Structure 1
Amino acid sequence: MRANFLKHVAQTSPAPMGLEIAGGEGVYLIDANGKRYLDLIAGIGVSALGHNHPAVVEAVQRQAGTYMHTLVYGEFVLSTQVELATLLCAQLPESLDNVYFTNSGTEAVEGAMKLAKRITGRTGFVSATRSYHGSTQGAASLMWPKDFTRPFHPLLPGVTHLDFNCDHCLGRITTDTAAVILETVQAEWGIRKPRPEWIHAVRRRCDETGALLILDEIQAGMGRTGTLFAFEQYGIVPDILLLAKGFGGGMPLGAFVASRKLMETLTVDPVLGHITTFGGHPVSCAAGLAVLRELIDRPEHIRSVPEKEALVHRLLVHPKIRHLRSAGLWMAVELDDFDEVRRVIAGCLERGLITDWFLWNERSLRIAPPLTISEAELEWACGVILEALAT
């Protein structure tokens, strides 16, 4: 199996982790030899309720046995799409009342960029340095530094970058800017939260220049930071909200959400201004609906996040830990260098704990477990990390 994996499955790195997964249960993944691994990264924040959550599995099985793909998205009335969009909008401010479903986060970014250009008639975008919004060409154009994109240039022109939490950078948002695209909490730079006054200033600058504000909550959403959506903690409302990863609970699902007035511009001049064959797939929407209902019906999943966050801060204390940044159950454990990070990742894996690093911060370990992780499981995971640091 491993030989065929390496031969026939396209690789994204020269040294893949190569775990052969045979099953999943709650916060655990199980390999082909029956070894259990506590998944401390939840598929990069995807498995918000853990692996094989009964409500999600039942919803997927029920919908798969009813019907699956029907027609290009947006033509037929499909109950799981409608129910998920309705429930989602009920949790959001009034101005975010219309949902366009996609297959992934990067597709949500692409759709939002097209929507911003269509609405404003402008072509410029402003994004943050060391942000990550996806790997398709439009989304990749937002990336800086260019290490990951340079071999694929030219990409989309007209993209300007600012530094997260930089006040004097706000002048880069001008009347040529179609939209500012920001992660509400920067993910791949190692969990960097905005200063409240700064993100408010971004909102004001967008209003002054007529630019739209797009908040990317592909990783920050679905309870990860201690509220259903991270922007709720800052008292602002984006013009367009991006969701994916935990939104589908393990199934491929993303969305960009805006007002109906804005979204209607994609239906005329030209008609079918943005279309997708599999976006909003009924089975994926069934999974997303089950996740959202679970988070609403069992608010302890999100309410317990601050306590679990505090627990990790109390436990993860070691001379080799330079800093521990967090936004709810989403943390970056900063060490000296990438060699130390790799050594700890390998030590954790050997002991049955899955961790990872960050795209723009190789000095930090990623912690983003399922929200369902217990305090006892967190204590064990922290103990493993400390053991790996000590050896």
Structure 2
Amino acid sequence: MITDFIKYQAQTSPHPLGLEISHAKGSYIYDVENNAHLDFVAGVSATPLGHNHPKVIKAIKAQLDKYMHVMVYGEYAQKPAVELAKLLAKNLPKTLEQTYLTNSGTEAIEGALKLAKRATGRSEIISAKNAYHGNTMGAMSVMGYEERKQAFRPLLPNIKFIEFNNLEDLNQITSKTAGVILETIQGGAGFILPENNYLEAVRNRCNEVRTLLILDEIQPGFGRTGKLFGFEHYNCIPDILVTGKALGGGMPIGAFTAAKKLMSLLQDNPKLGHITTFGGHPVIAASALATLKEITGTALITETLEKEKLFRKLLIHPLIKEIRGKGLMLALIMKNADITNQLILKCKDQGLILFWLLFEPKAVRITPPLTISHQEIEKGCHTILSILNQIDT
């Protein structure tokens, strides 16, 4: 299968991990030889309830028996999508009342950027250095990492970059700015948390010049940080909220949410301001609805902070410089990139799945399912420490 994988399926890097998957359940992924791999990555934060959660599978199967795709987005009232949007509104501030469902986080970013331009009549977008918001052309344009986008220029014009957590840079947000787009917690940069009331200051500056604030919660959203949404930690409510990954419970989804008055601008002048064929797909929406109900209806969110404490307690080693992040969105920062590479690859051979971050070569991603048990955390941390003890620096 690996030979065919390399031959027929387009690759994203020269050296894919190449694990041959048989099945997955709970916190484990099984290869074709039935070896169990403890998952500390959760599909890059996309499977918050672990693999094959029974309530999610039940919802998917029930919807499959009713109907799948019946019409392009926004024309028919389909219960899974309607109920999902309604439950999102119930769990968000009142100003975030209407949701547009998309196929992916990056498509939701595109919609959010368009909405900011449509609402303000301005063209300038401000993003952050080392930001990552997706890989389509608009999302790539607001990526703050030139090495990853230089081969694809020209990209969108009128994009400016500020330094995350730099309060002086906020003066660059002016009456020419349509929108400021930020990750609530910078992901690819190394799980950088906002400091010194930074997001609150951004919010205030946007209010001053009537600029829309877009917060990208594609990674921190849906319980991963100990709140349903990361922005709840920082006294900052965005004008447009972008979500994805975990919302689908393992199925592909994205969404952008704003006030109804804002979202209505995509209906007219021009009509069909943002369209999609498969956004809000009933099977995917059913999966997302079951996932959101489970996250909001159980103690998973509060348990996340207790699990963070356990990780921080156990993962103490001379080769680990620091642990960044919040909740179960954690990154081990190693002494150098070589240690990071050795740890991830050797853990793979020992049945523990870790992964890299996009722009910080010293970082090791730890974003397990929210459902991971304390025993599984202890088991995985033991493997990490054991391998670190074997690494010769």
Given the two structures, how large is their TM-score scaled by the length of structure 1? 0.99
Whether 1:205 and 2:212 are equivalent positions in the alignment is: no
Checking the alignment, whether the CA contact within 8 Å between 1:124 and 1:178 is kept in structure 2 is: yes
Q: Which residue of 2 aligns with 1:319?
A: 318
Q: Which residue of 1 aligns with 2:190?
A: 190
Q: Secondary structure at the match of 2:146?
A: coil
Cα displacement (A) at 1:145: 2.1
Q: Which residue of 2 aligns with 1:122?
A: 122
Q: Distance in 2 between matches of 1:16 and 1:97?
A: 41
Measured against aligned partners, the alpha-carbon deviations of 1:296-345 in whole angstroms (never above 9, x if no partner) come to 221x1111111110111110001111111121111110112221111001
Q: Secondary structure at the match of 1:296?
A: helix
Cα displacement (A) at 1:196: 4.8
Cα displacement (A) at 1:129: 0.7
Q: Secondary structure at the match of 1:322?
A: strand
Query: In structure 2, what residue type is equivalent to 1:239?
Result: D
Q: Which residue of 1 aligns with 2:380?
A: 381
Measured against aligned partners, the alpha-carbon deviations of 1:13-68 in whole angstroms (never above 9, x if no partner) come to 00000001110000100000000001101000000000000010111111111101
Q: Secondary structure at the match of 2:133?
A: coil
Q: Distance in 2 between matches of 1:103 and 1:13?
A: 23
Q: Which residue of 1 aligns with 2:219?
A: 219
Q: Within 5 A, what are the aligned runs for 1:241-280?
A: 241-280=241-280
Q: Distance in 1 between matches of 2:160 and 2:283?
A: 38
Moved over 6 A (4+): none
Q: Which residue of 2 aligns with 1:344?
A: 343
Q: Which residue of 2 aligns with 1:2?
A: 2
Checking the alignment, whether the CA contact within 8 Å between 2:49 and 2:371 is kept in structure 1 is: yes
Checking the alignment, whether the CA contact within 8 Å between 1:190 and 1:331 is kept in structure 2 is: no
Checking the alignment, whether the CA contact within 8 Å between 1:335 and 1:363 is kept in structure 2 is: yes
Q: Within 5 A, what are the aligned runs for 1:351-366?
A: 351-366=350-365
Gaps of 5+ in 2: none
Query: In structure 2, what residue type is equivalent to 1:206?
Result: C
Q: Distance in 1 between matches of 2:45 and 2:295?
A: 15
Q: Distance in 1 between matches of 2:128 and 2:315?
A: 30
Checking the alignment, whether the CA contact within 8 Å between 1:248 and 1:285 is kept in structure 2 is: yes
Q: Within 5 A, what are the aligned runs for 1:281-296?
A: 281-296=281-296
Q: Distance in 2 between matches of 1:19 and 1:250?
A: 18
Query: In structure 2, what residue type is equivalent to 1:361?
Result: E
Q: Within 5 A, what are the aligned runs for 1:1-391?
A: 1-298=1-298, 300-391=299-390
Q: Distance in 1 between matches of 2:145 and 2:23?
A: 37
Gaps of 5+ in 1: none
Cα displacement (A) at 1:87: 0.7
Q: Distance in 1 between matches of 2:57 and 2:145?
A: 40
Checking the alignment, whether the CA contact within 8 Å between 1:309 and 1:326 is kept in structure 2 is: no
Checking the alignment, whether the CA contact within 8 Å between 2:244 and 2:253 is kept in structure 1 is: yes
Checking the alignment, whether the CA contact within 8 Å between 1:196 and 1:234 is kept in structure 2 is: no
Checking the alignment, whether the CA contact within 8 Å between 1:333 and 1:364 is kept in structure 2 is: yes
Q: % of aligned pairs identical?
A: 49
Q: Secondary structure at the match of 1:170?
A: helix
Q: Secondary structure at the match of 1:71?
A: coil
Q: Distance in 2 between matches of 1:382 and 1:169?
A: 39
Q: Secondary structure at the match of 2:358?
A: coil
Cα displacement (A) at 1:149: 0.5
Between 1:124-133 and 1:334-343, the stretch displaced more is: 334-343
Cα displacement (A) at 1:172: 1.2
Measured against aligned partners, the alpha-carbon deviations of 1:75-117 in whole angstroms (never above 9, x if no partner) come to 0000001000001100001110000000000000000000000
Q: Distance in 2 between matches of 1:145 and 1:278?
A: 30
Checking the alignment, whether the CA contact within 8 Å between 2:131 and 2:145 is kept in structure 1 is: no
Q: Distance in 1 between matches of 2:387 and 2:25?
A: 25
Q: Secondary structure at the match of 2:356?
A: coil
Checking the alignment, whether the CA contact within 8 Å between 2:199 and 2:235 is kept in structure 1 is: no
Q: Distance in 1 between matches of 2:145 and 2:94?
A: 36
Query: In structure 2, what residue type is equivalent to 1:127?
Result: S
Query: In structure 2, what residue type is equivalent to 1:210?
Result: R
Q: Distance in 1 between matches of 2:197 and 2:361?
A: 29
Q: Distance in 2 between matches of 1:180 and 1:250?
A: 29
Q: Secondary structure at the match of 2:142?
A: coil
Q: Distance in 2 between matches of 1:210 and 1:338?
A: 42
Q: Distance in 2 between matches of 1:324 and 1:272?
A: 45
Checking the alignment, whether the CA contact within 8 Å between 2:60 and 2:284 is kept in structure 1 is: yes
Cα displacement (A) at 1:270: 1.0
Query: In structure 2, what residue type is equivalent to 1:347?
Result: K
Query: In structure 2, what residue type is equivalent to 1:372?
Result: T
Q: Distance in 2 between matches of 1:131 and 1:145?
A: 7
Checking the alignment, whether the CA contact within 8 Å between 1:48 and 1:370 is kept in structure 2 is: yes
Query: In structure 1, what residue type is equivalent to 2:145?
Result: P
Between 1:196-205 and 1:10-19, the stretch displaced more is: 196-205
Cα displacement (A) at 1:260: 0.5
Q: Distance in 2 between matches of 1:17 and 1:250?
A: 20
